């Protein structure tokens, strides 16, 4: 799995563990996906970010093993989103920067 250092530098006071994502969503949060290019392989990885209901705080989602939650394919990211947010009928994602 890629290291979290590929994400932009942000001041983050907290993280959101993967086993608490459903509760976070039930409390009004939402998920967003941050595409980042992996330095070694030049592949896009999709990092999961939790955004609070007021939209002001972004919390990186980590697995319980301590790794940032990310997906190697857009298809896997969409399946995860459909599982976590079954009522959503639309998903807007940022496009990766092309070098």
Q: How far apart are CA 52 and CA 95, in angstroms?
A: 21
What is the C-alpha separation between 46 and 73, in angstroms, rounded? 7
* The predicted structure's pLDDT at residue 15: 85
Q: And the tokens for 10?
A: 């942000």
Q: What span, in angstroms and rounded, lies between the C-alpha atoms of 10 and 8? A: 6
C-alpha span between 80 and 24 (Å, rounded): 15
Instruction: Supply the pLDDT for residue 38.
Output: 86
Return per-residue pLDDT of the chain as tens, 99 residues. Answer: 444 455 555 544 588 898 899 999 999 999 999 999 888 888 999 999 999 989 888 889 998 888 999 999 989 999 999 999 999 999 988 888 765
Q: How many CB atoms lie within 10 A of CB 25?
A: 16
Q: What is the pLDDT of residue 55?
A: 87
């Amino acid at each position: 799995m890629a290291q979290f250092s590929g994400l932009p530098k942000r001041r983050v006071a907290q993280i959101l563990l993967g086993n608490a994502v459903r509760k976070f969503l039930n409390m009004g949060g939402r998920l967003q996906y941050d595409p980042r290019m992996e330095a070694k392989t030049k592949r896009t990885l999709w990092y999961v970010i939790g955004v609070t209901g007021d939209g002001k705080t972004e919390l990186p989602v980590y697995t319980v093993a301590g790794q940032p939650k990310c997906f190697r394919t857009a298809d896997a990211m969409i399946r995860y989103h459909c599982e976590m947010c079954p009522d959503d009928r639309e998903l807007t994602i940022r496009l990766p920067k092309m070098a």
